[in-house]
Amino acid sequence: MACTADVAGRGAVLLGEGVVADSFWPRPYRVVTHAHSDHTMGLSRSVRESLFIIATPTTFRFLEILGQKVPEAKRLELPYDRRIALEDEVLELKIARHIAGSSQVLVECRGGVVGYTGDFKMPGTPPMQGLDVLVIDATYGSPRLQRRWGEWDALAALVSLIEDNISRGPVWVYGYNGKLQEVMVELRRRGVTYPFIADEKTVKLARVAAEFYGYQLDDVRVYTGREHGESVVLFMHASRSRGKRRLPGTHIVLTGWELRAPAARVADNVYNVSFSDHATFREIVEYVREASPRMVVVDAYRGKDAWFTARYLERVLGIRSFARPVVGGGAGG
């Protein structure tokens, strides 16, 4: 068997012969690159059918808080840059900048080496070099999805919105797990000292993320519902943005799909801030150029316009590229 990699149905990233990442597949070793739900699919089935679940210590702590149970006997906690032998293959997790604990996966198999980026953004994700096959996340897989500003601009816009509106009541910030905690740290680093309040899971994740980032976040209080008249910043999971929007204050949704400006007003007291934890299209190309693998597989299960990414990489970088799995719609075009 050649040492190869692919994205199969249901988003299972197959690496070498024995490893699968980020969805269920009948293989002995299941990697979870990070705790987002589109990367923990089929985890309970993997717990039943695979030998080991492999993730960084931070990712295991996140999973626990989010109610994803992995029994002790099945856990293989692997810190970054530590090689581990799995029968005929050697596996290593490399850092990916996305959320606390996120990893890339490197597998040396018979006759080659393959890798998977998991979700990532640049800079801060060192490209894995010398690969035979690179599987890459391409959430924003074409120039039409390109944000035309850096995340520093988005953070600056967020700080201004908080400062301009907080005297009138709470500022609500909605985002995904991991992104909220990263933004809390970045706001504190930029001198935002207003009290931080969050729902219970977000607070627990913040404690874990604070350790990961090496930054104190132990002053985040749990939301009680009595803070609606205070000058505080309230952090809530993205799924709660609709339900809470009618409450007093200013509501800010963190979303990389806002492409008009770093901050855009969408209703009277509702704004989008264009902050993402995924590489822009240009950053995806930059990663592949630096990594310079022999072949690229673009994850079309999670990414948008993956077929375009593959074609672009082939034309511009001259690297053989495929969008996988092949699905209906744009994939064939």
HEC sequence for 41-67: CCHHHHHHHCCEEEECHHHHHHHHHCC
* Of 108 and 119, CB closest to Zn ion: 119
* Of 194 and 213, CB closest to Zn ion: 213
Q: Residue 99 CB, nearest distance to Zn ion (Å)?
A: 6
List the structure tokens of 183: 């933004």
Residue 101 identity = G
C-alpha 205: how far from its chain's center? 15
Edge-to-edge order in the sheet of strand 5-7: 5-7, 13-15, 19-21, 29-31, 52-55, 75-77
Q: Does 36 bind Zn ion (CB under 5 A)?
A: yes
| Contact set for Zn ion, span 94-153 (CB under 5 A) | 119
End-to-end CA, the chain: 31
Q: Residue 255 CB, nearest distance to Zn ion (Å)?
A: 14
List the structure tokens of 319: 């690297």
| Contact set for Zn ion, span 271-310 (CB under 5 A) | none
Of 32-40, 187-195, 216-224, 254-262, which part binds Zn ion (CB under 5 A)?
Answer: 32-40
8 A C-beta contact, residue 95 and residue 125: yes
Q: Residue 165 CB, nearest distance to Zn ion (Å)?
A: 29
* Of 184 and 279, CB closest to Zn ion: 279
Q: Residue 35 CB, nearest distance to Zn ion (Å)?
A: 8
Of 12-20, 29-37, 73-81, 250-258, which part binds Zn ion (CB under 5 A)?
Answer: 29-37
* Of 27 and 36, CB closest to Zn ion: 36
Site residue total, Zn ion (CB under 5 A):
2
* Of 92 and 119, CB closest to Zn ion: 119
* Of 108 and 186, CB closest to Zn ion: 186
Other CB atoms within 10 Å distance of the CB of residue 242: 11
Q: Residue 120 CB, nearest distance to Zn ion (Å)?
A: 9
- DSSP states of 228-273 as a string? TTSS-EEEEEGGGHHHHTTSSSEEEEE-TT--S-SEEEEETTEEEE
> Which residues contact Zn ion (rule: CB under 5 A)?
36, 119
